Amino acid sequence: IAIPHGRTTAAPELTIAFGKSSAGIEWEALDGEPVHLVFLVIAPPYEENNHYLPTLGKLVEFLSKAENRDRLKAIDNFQDFISLFSQ
């Protein structure tokens, strides 16, 4: 799993993009293994609601469960992706 994240003035609001690769992507991961799930998280430098850090925390907590990672790997459409995070 890779979660590149940051703040930038180019982001008008907190935005998350997701991608997956069954073959894996070389990512210079600590374990040396290819990455199969990628979440890109960007946010503006300042937010009134400050969702950036809490969102990162919730994402990491969600991804810490093997069953959630397996479900993400099996998803093949946007509606199932949204449903998984709506539970």
Residue type, 64: S
CA torsion, points 27, 33, 37, 39, in degrees to nearest 10? -40
- Across 18-22, 35-39, 60-64, 81-85, least confident range: 81-85
CATH of the domain at 55: 3.40.930.10
Domain count within the chain: 1
Query: What predicted TM-score, i.e. pTM, was given to this entire model?
Result: 0.87
Of the chain, the percentage scoring pLDDT greater than 90 comes to 77
Domain range for 13 is: 5-86
Q: In what order do the strands lie in the sheet with 15-25?
A: 5-7, 35-43, 15-25
Residue 35 and residue 2 in contact, taking contact as beta carbons nearer than 8 Å: yes
